[in-house]
Amino acid sequence: MASSKTILRALAGETLPTPPIWMMRQAGRYLPEYRATRAQAGDFLKLCYNPELAAEVTLQPIRRYGFDAAILFADILLIPQALGADLWFVTGEGPRLSTITAQADFDKLGPVSDIHETLNPIYETVKILSDALPSETTLIGFAGAPWTVATYMIAGQGTPDQGPAHALRMENTPLFEALLDRITEATIDYLSMQIQAGAEVVKIFDSWAGSLKGDAFLKYSLEPARRITAALKAKHPNTPIIGFPREAGDGYIGFAKATGVDCVALDNSVSAAWAAKNVQVDGCVQGNLKSSHMVTGGQPLVDETKAIVKAFSGGPHIFNLGHGITPDADPDNVQRMIDAVRDV
């Protein structure tokens, strides 16, 4: 029953005595079983598009730790690829894409209606997980937010300051906004298909929201999140949505009300005490332990975990990291964090 799933209860606004737990990038390189499965797949993209193996790596941290949710194993850059961009990964350096810097580049992209041919294996992974997960475990689907996805499509790779995307939005605003609009429409369709396949919650990752300031944040981070949320709520009114405008600072305040998301995920650049006072007043929050604790461990990990749980104890809260777990994390520290939350 959905009502027995603690994450769905928190997302519905219930304050629980022990917050549910999951972890961004919980299926990842810090786990030896993940590394073995990725080697079996051949490379990262082949793993994303192999439903059986993608489901396997999604299930691995559930078997090991008993997290309250599993998040679909995929990547935020599959949408650009489905739209027609070239995508490949350079070992040790990350993703590379063909760039969108001129109208001619944009014109080569395909229509939103064509994305599902590429993305069908992702929906198949969701279906497998929907059947395979323990009855108490919530299945989370996700996509990258339009601004964050656009930064990679414009630069062709990750950048420290999202400079190429900022330059394009200033120098050729119509092209930039057309690209954002195409990504937004694709994201709505993609997440809707994940929900139809069995995702019980979806999350919108705006990893580079913090580099947008003032009106630009409102227009290019908050507004696309509102548009995606409204479209999904119209089609799937009972599916909760988590928004993550990372490093938004004061932009976190009022984000849930302005966008309609059911929960705001928080990075660790804001304190739990501040967020409880300014963000949790509007509903569920998720976060926000510094991911470096998963590397260093020790008593500071336990103390900070307990402090976050206490700070958010007055309202609905899902415990998570403030960013994804890193490949150099110690798997034993993950268990220490879980034990500290559950106080066993």
For residue 152, indicate whether it is catalytic. Answer: yes
For residue 226, indicate whether it is catalytic. Answer: no
Q: What pLDDT is stored for residue 2 in this prediction?
A: 45
For residue 169, indicate whether it is catalytic. Answer: no
pTM above 0.85, yes or no: yes
Q: What pLDDT is stored for residue 344 in this prediction?
A: 53
Q: What pLDDT is stored for residue 4 in this prediction?
A: 86
Per the structure block, which two tokens stand in for 223? 């507004």
Q: 148, 242, 257, 147: which is closest to 191 by C-alpha?
A: 242
Domain ranges of the chain: 2-342
Residue with tokens 């679909």: 72
DSSP class of residue 284 equals E
Q: Report phi then psi at 267, rounded to 5.
A: -85, 175
Which of 30, 34, 49, 152 does the annotation list as catalytic? 152
Which of 9, 30, 34, 38 does the annotation list as catalytic? 38
Concatenating the DSSP letter of every residue in 17-29 gives: SS--B--TT-SST
By DSSP bridging, strand 241-245 and strand 263-265 are: parallel
For residue 96, indicate whether it is catalytic. Answer: no
Mean pLDDT by 10 residues, the chain (344 residues): 83 97 97 97 96 98 98 98 96 93 98 98 98 98 98 97 98 98 98 98 98 98 98 98 98 98 98 98 98 98 98 98 97 98 84
Which of 68, 75, 189, 267 does the annotation list as catalytic? 75
| Neighbour-count burial for 308-338, b at 16+ CB within 10 Å, e otherwise | bbebbeebbbbbbbbbbbeeebeeebbebbb
Q: Which amino acid is it at 230?
A: A
Q: What pLDDT is stored for residue 140 in this prediction?
A: 98
For residue 25, indicate whether it is catalytic. Answer: yes
Residues 6 or more apart in contact with residue 1 via CB below 8 angstroms: none
Q: What pLDDT is stored for residue 92 in this prediction?
A: 83
- CATH for the stretch 2-342: 3.20.20.210
Q: What pLDDT is stored for residue 91 in this prediction?
A: 84
